[in-house]
Amino acid sequence: MKIAIGADHAGFEEKESIKPTLDALGIEYVDMGTTSIESVDYPDYARKVAEAVASGEVDQGLLMCGSGTGMAISANKVKGVRAAVAWSEDIARLARQHNNANVLALPARFASKGEMANIVKAFFTTDFEGGRHAPRVDKISQIERDDLC
């Protein structure tokens, strides 16, 4: 599996701290920035990661900002992206199992580095269940029609 990772200034340190977890899981990653704690605009990094996922350049994405929300909202503007904010392992698993989320957004200011490592493990080791959830995910794609976006 290959993923794109990105963060704003609020998530920079956490982005850097999660890299050993990704290495331990055998997940290859492309770091799309930011490269410091200097203030930046989170939509720029969310877009880079989301476009890499949507284009198939990478399989999935990981974003980090203060709450995770701004990154998820921004990433979800890209057709084909289903970004979910997860603050627990259970939420991360359900986002994958039921929603086939392909981008994880983490709240750097509201989860410890240890909690984030466990959330990342849960998200990237969980598969989409399909079945009764597949038609629902298909309906999400229908909302993304070009005439509505």
Active site residues: 65, 98
d(CA 5, CA 35): 12
DSSP 47-70: HHHHHHHHHTSSSEEEEEESSSHH
What is the distance, to the nearest Å, from the Cα of residue 104 to the centroid of all Cα atoms in its chain?
2
Q: What 3-state class would DSSP assign to 24?
A: helix
CB atoms within 10 A of CB 123: 22
